Structure 1
Amino acid sequence: MTRSLTVLTALAALALAGTSAEAKGCLKGAVVGGVAGHMAGHGKAGAAAGCAIGHHEANKKDKQQGGQQGQPQGQ
């Protein structure tokens, strides 16, 4: 139990410290998924799924923001 808490604390610290472009969303998703998975008895699977979902959502948000910047402002 102590080891799991240590790993989750380290992941949370990494998520709050900032991320690179490639890991965007993955660390936060892994922390949330790992905690939820741990409660269900599948911490590693939850962390992996959370990473994938977090990365996907971050990419989707970046694409939406990129498309809005290139449009003219109400003329």
Structure 2
Amino acid sequence: MLKNITIAASLLAVLGVSSQAQAIGCVSGGAAGAVAGHYAGHHAVLGAVGGCVAGHEMHKKQVAEKKLKQKQHLQTQQQDQQQD
């Protein structure tokens, strides 16, 4: 088990060094995936990799949604100003 955790931590460290922007979501997703993978049959490393990918994708989706909401809010404000 310690070997799997070491491998997962090393993998996450390498991914984090390659690009910090991509690490957002990866660390929390990787940790959750490692735990889930461990309980699903001692596949912590595989779970960490899957969790990292899923966490990163979820973060990208959240950022896109936030940008869309900000854009819509700005458009609403501009329309309100034009009506006044």
1:47 corresponds in structure 2 to 48
2:34 corresponds in structure 1 to 34
Q: Deviations over 1:18-74 (max 9, x none)?
A: xx4221100000000001101122111100000000000000000000011112247
2:21 corresponds in structure 1 to 21
2 CA distance for matches of 1:23 and 1:2? Answer: 23
Q: TM-score, normalised by structure 1?
A: 0.70
Q: Which runs of 5+ in 2 are unaligned?
A: 14-19
2:71 corresponds in structure 1 to 70
Letter aligned with residue 31 of structure 1: A
Q: TM-score, normalised by structure 2?
A: 0.64
Greater Cα radius of gyration, structure 1 or 2 = 2
Preserved CA contact (<8 Å) 2:30 2:48: yes
1:17 corresponds in structure 2 to none
Greater per-residue helix proportion: 2
**Alignment RMSD, CA only?**
2.6
Q: Which runs of 5+ in 1 are unaligned?
A: 15-19
| Worse overlay, 64-73 or 44-53 | 64-73
Equivalent pairs: percent with the same residue? 38
